[in-house]
Amino acid sequence: MVSILAVDDSASMRQMVSFTLKGAGYQVREAVDGVEALEIAKNEKFDLVLTDVNMPNMNGIELVQNLRQQENYKFVPMLMLTTESAGDMKMQGKAAGATGWIVKPFNPDQLLSTIKRVLG
């Protein structure tokens, strides 16, 4: 089963993402910020990491940077949930090692079709 780590500090977004992914048959772990995500990722292996950019404690960019340095996550796709306005955020994300991004706002179908691009 494909397992996905979903990281967002907003409960409604997290629920929406998680609900959509679970509905599509993925296994989902949730984390509220980069720190928690990193902790979870150390003990479990995921096939995809979906992370918000702006979060307290550790933001999405730092999270990706940290994960990429780990042997287990060298090639794991990591997608950032970002907004159009944050153009340079995309660049920063890429520089940190993110695979790509999903532009907010997105609907469940867009989310699913986007993650299909990086899975399998």
**Residue of the chain from 2, 3, 13, 62 that contacts another protein (CB under 8 A):** 13
The yes or no reply on residue 70 touching another protein (CB under 8 A) is no
| For another protein, the closer CB: 39 or 119 | 119
Cα–Cα distance between 67 and 113 in angstroms, integer? 24
Residues 32-61, one symbol each (x = binds another protein by CB under 8 A, - = not), give --------------------x-xxx-----
Cα–Cα distance between 113 and 72 in angstroms, integer? 25
Q: Look at the chain and count its residues.
A: 120
For the chain, report the end-to-end CA distance as a whole number of angstroms.
Answer: 11
The yes or no reply on residue 2 touching another protein (CB under 8 A) is no
Cα–Cα distance between 68 and 96 in angstroms, integer? 8
Q: C-beta of 15: minimal distance to another protein in Å?
A: 5
The amino acid that residue 115 corresponds to is: I
- Provide φ and ψ at 53, rounded to 5°: -90, -55
Which positions lie near another protein, rule CB under 8 A? Answer: 9-13, 15-16, 19-20, 23-24, 52, 54-56, 68, 74-78, 81, 83, 85-86, 91, 94, 97-101, 104-110, 112-113, 116-118, 120
